[in-house]
Structure 1
Amino acid sequence: MNDVAARAGVGLKTVSRVVNAEPGVTPETERRVQEAIAALGFRRNDSARVLRKGRTATVGLVLEDLADPFYGPLNRAVEEVARAHGALLITGSSAEDPERERELALALCARRVDGLIVIPAGADHRYLEPEIRAGVATVFVDRPAGGIGADVVLSDSFGGAREGVAHLIARGHRRIGFIGDQPHIHTAQERLRGYRAAMAEAGLPVEPAWVALGSTEPASVTAAARGMLGRAEPVTALFAGNNRVTVTVVRVLAGVAGPVALVGFDDFELADLLRPGVSVVAQDAAALGRVAADRLFARLSGARPAPERLVLPTRLIARGSGELAPPA
């Protein structure tokens, strides 16, 4: 820093202010300091900064699977907010395994991240209580924490599913199937609740055979869809609980004679290019990540409000598959 100060013709404190993005430096002086930094190849000593400020300028993101298209925009949004705050994002996948989630979250804490954003795989997060008490800001996304009070940012899974199923009912469907994720997952529970609410509001019964919760692997979804479509009185429409389910159902319907209406929860790539286009209830994954990251950095800046549950709206996108009428 002494060399940078000498080359730029400024004091050490001015160099420190520029390096740490602090106010009080004129644009011209900042330009000279930045030019000196570039010419000398200066790099900030983050280890010394950690010792001085007690912060590492890193945050962790624990999600389920980066290969899932839903998590790409969410990860990118968190990364952009972190970058705007001068922080580095470290991301890891839990593979929907609660024990792996726990190991990954605690490993990030052991590396002294300043905060955590977690998409829960498990239902018990009391293991994070000591870390939160020690000052690790923590925000949950997509599903609430289990066993502890913490900020959570959610999509309106209940309202979105209710709207999607009501859309099918408005097109004349009375036998509507629901295929969702594992029953212990919060979003699967909320979307099933929305399905049941829409059916009840329309005065329609729900046959047990019309509901399938479980693995979203293609073989399981295929079996569930074919079971509903192969009955003596088959369903005339399907509501798919997430994008993985929807993609498999599209493949199943490609081999079915006659139209079957479909609405899926979550948008997915090329959904608008299929014939018919796939109608979906879209959630804004980027907004989830951005709101969660903003909340995290607000807490890191010293804000200490009570934990909040923030629910973001969904949007029904009608493209054709959800507008198909039932057979006459």
Structure 2
Amino acid sequence: MKDVAARAGVGLKTVSRVVNGEPGVTAETTERVQAAITELGFRRNDSARILRKGRTASIGLILEDIGDPFYSAFSRAVEDVARDNASLLFIGSSAEAADREQELALAFCARRVDGLIVIPAGTDHRYLLPETQAGVAVVFADRPGQRIDADNVLSANADGSRQGVEHLLRHGHRRIGYIGDLPHIHTAAERLRGYREAMADAGIEVAPGWVAMGPTDPERVAADLRAMTGEDGVTAVFCGNNRVSVSVLRAVDSLPSRPALIGFDDFELADLAGLSVVAQDPAGMGRTAARLLFHRLAGSAGDFTTTHLPVHLIPRGSAERPPR
């Protein structure tokens, strides 16, 4: 820093203010200091900064699968907010395994991240209590944290399913099937709940063969689709997430009669496929969770909150087909 100050003709404090983005430096002086930094190849000593401020200017994000379009949009939004707050983002995928989630969370904490955003795979997050007591901020997103007091940012999952089912009902369908993810996953359970509530409100008893929950691999989804759309089967199918929707779209043309379709989650090319969807806002969820995390890191000590973000129906034709 002394070399930068000498090259720019300013004091050490001025260089420090420019490097740390602090106010009180004119644009001309800032430009001169930045030019000296470039010429000399100066790099900020983050180790000294950590010791001085007690912060690492980094956060961790644990999600299910970075390859999922929903989580890709979510993580990009978190990264944007982290950059706005001069922080680095570290990302890990839990692959829906509770032990992997815990391993990643504790590994990030061991590297002294300031905070964590977690999309839970596990059902007991008390392992984070020593970290939160040590000052690590934690926000759970998409699914709530379990057995721990923390902030949560969720979608209105049950309400979204109700919207989708009611839309199918308005188009004359009464035999409506539901293909969802593993039932222990919070979002899958909430969406199934919304489906059942909408059917009950319409006075329709759900037959056992109308609901299929399980892994989202294409073979399982295709088999359940064929089973529930057989003779006298359902005339419409609600897909519980984007992976189920993609598997259904791949299999539906092999059916003797094409059912009406609606999916929970929008995804790339869904519009070209004409798939009606109940759309979440993954980027909005990511921004909300990240801003809340940095709000906590800035010293907010208010009560923990649970935020439910709205979803909305996008009709594109597939759900508007009349019953066969």
TM-score scaled by length of structure 2: 0.99
Return the letter of the residue paired with 2:252: L
- Give the whole-Å Cα distance in 2 for the aligned partners of 1:223 and 1:149: 41
What per-residue deviation string (whole Å, max 9, x for no partner) do you get for residues 156-211 of structure 1?
11111100111001000000001111111110111001101111111111111111
Alignment of 1:73-112 (within 5 A): 73-112=73-112
Alignment of 1:157-172 (within 5 A): 157-172=157-172
Counterpart in 2 of 1:33? 33
Displacement of 1:233: 1.5
Displacement of 1:272: 1.2
Whether contact under 8 Å (1:264, 1:279) holds in the other structure is yes
Return the letter of the residue paired with 2:260: A
SS of match in other structure, 1:14: helix
Counterpart in 1 of 2:262? 263
SS of match in other structure, 1:281: strand
Whether contact under 8 Å (2:180, 2:192) holds in the other structure is yes
Counterpart in 1 of 2:316? 319
- Give the whole-Å Cα distance in 1 for the aligned partners of 2:214 and 2:21: 50
Whether contact under 8 Å (2:242, 2:267) holds in the other structure is yes
Give the alignment partner of residue 278 of structure 1, picking from 254, 257, 275: 275
Displacement of 1:30: 0.9
Counterpart in 2 of 1:252? 251
- Give the whole-Å Cα distance in 2 for the aligned partners of 1:122 and 1:262: 31
Q: Does residue 1:209 correspond to 2:209, yes or no?
A: yes
Return the letter of the residue paired with 1:299: R
- Give the whole-Å Cα distance in 1 for the aligned partners of 2:10 and 2:201: 71
Whether contact under 8 Å (2:218, 2:247) holds in the other structure is yes
Counterpart in 2 of 1:238? 237
Counterpart in 2 of 1:113? 113
Displacement of 1:259: 3.1
Counterpart in 2 of 1:197? 197
Return the letter of the residue paired with 1:233: D
- Give the whole-Å Cα distance in 1 for the aligned partners of 2:118 and 2:193: 24
> Identity across aligned pairs (percent)?
65
Whether contact under 8 Å (1:259, 1:324) holds in the other structure is no
Whether contact under 8 Å (2:226, 2:255) holds in the other structure is no
Return the letter of the residue paired with 2:248: V
Runs of 4+ in 1 over 4 A off after TM superposition: none
Alignment gaps of 5+ in structure 2: none
Alignment gaps of 5+ in structure 1: none
Displacement of 1:81: 0.5
- Give the whole-Å Cα distance in 2 for the aligned partners of 1:150 and 1:255: 47
- Give the whole-Å Cα distance in 1 for the aligned partners of 2:152 and 2:19: 34
SS of match in other structure, 2:243: helix
- Give the whole-Å Cα distance in 2 for the aligned partners of 1:326 and 1:233: 12
What per-residue deviation string (whole Å, max 9, x for no partner) do you get for residues 41-97 of structure 1?
110000000011011111000001111111111111000100111100000000110
Displacement of 1:104: 0.5
User: RMSD value over aligned CA atoms?
Assistant: 0.8
Q: Does residue 1:297 correspond to 2:294, yes or no?
A: yes
- Give the whole-Å Cα distance in 1 for the aligned partners of 2:257 and 2:210: 19
SS of match in other structure, 1:323: coil
- Give the whole-Å Cα distance in 1 for the aligned partners of 2:295 and 2:23: 19
Q: Does residue 1:50 correspond to 2:50, yes or no?
A: yes
- Give the whole-Å Cα distance in 2 for the aligned partners of 1:248 and 1:16: 55
Counterpart in 2 of 1:153? 153
Alignment of 1:175-186 (within 5 A): 175-186=175-186
Displacement of 1:257: 2.6
Whether contact under 8 Å (1:259, 1:326) holds in the other structure is no
